[in-house]
Homo-oligomer: A and B are copies of this chain.
């Protein structure tokens, strides 16, 4: 599975403080910590409190690029903030995210094509969050059609069924799991699927248990990628075990340690600046 670390986000107090103080060391430390724990890519979000998100995003990306060349998911609801992050990163970017709204796709899909970015698209629109899996599939179909029409490589498209918290939308969780499989029938090659994992336990106690149980079920349904906290050891153990049971990783008696060492030893920097 493609793992995007979620910890560089201005909604966390340590990141918010680092952005305000322009303290690169904190950002770089958390970037490397996530990679050491198995993240393949890093989400970058300046958070809701940023008063200058275009420049904060540039500073975050430049700070991270000093220590690693891994893919960065430039995470903002504002197209100009996304453009700023993509420009600063130069390459290896993921646009996070577009929704199933024509004006948003008109702004961001061409940017994804031009910059060679991957694209995360949410199966929701300005009208709100879908109420069932049929609506999710309809919105995903619109996304696939628009991306295809605009010349975007569908194998680089990640559709998010939009995970809702179990404490407010319990009845929808099974439908969200079903959507992961449903989206695969939309095109050939099929779009990839992704979830923002932590949403499932928003407002619940025992969050890690809920997160890792949902992740095992989502992987079983065919999930390709997730934005999550790779420093949650029990979550990563579940992820590695689920992938092993699904024959996506080779089993050996020390399979957990083997894959953890792999994360620890992975090159963080693929070229020198």
Contacts and interface: CB of A to CB of B under 8 A. Distances in A.
Interface of A: 166-167, 170-171, 173-174, 177, 200, 204-206, 209-210, 213-214, 216-217, 219-221, 237-238, 241-242, 244-247, 250-251, 253-254, 256
Given A167-B253, A217-B242, A242-B217, A247 B209 contact: no
B177 A220 contact: yes
Copies in the complex: 2
Given A220-B217, A220-B220, A244 B209 contact: no
Given A170-B245, A170-B250, A200-B245, 12 more contacts: A166-B244, A170-B251, A173-B245, A174-B246, A205-B253, A205-B254, A206-B256, A213-B238, A216-B216, A217-B219, A217-B242, A220-B220
Contacts of A241: 206, 209-210, 213
A217 B216 contact: yes
A181 to B, nearest CB: 11
A41 to B, nearest CB: 24
**When A and B form their complex, which 10 residue pairs have the shortest distance between CB atoms, in order from nearest?**
A217-B220, A216-B216, A213-B241, A170-B251, A173-B245, A213-B216, A213-B242, A174-B246, A220-B220, A170-B247
A35 B139 CA distance: 47
Contacts of A209: 237-238, 241, 256
27 contacts: A166-B244, A166-B245, A167-B253, A170-B245, A170-B247, A170-B250, A173-B245, A173-B247, A177-B220, A200-B245, A204-B253, A205-B253, A205-B254, A206-B256, A209-B237, A209-B241, A213-B241, A213-B242, A213-B245, A214-B245, A216-B216, A216-B242, A217-B219, A217-B220, A217-B242, A217-B246, A220-B220
Contacts of A254: 205
B217 A245 contact: yes
A44 B177 CA distance: 36
Nearest to A256: B206
A173 B251 CA distance: 12
A154 B250 CA distance: 38
A161 to B, nearest CB: 14
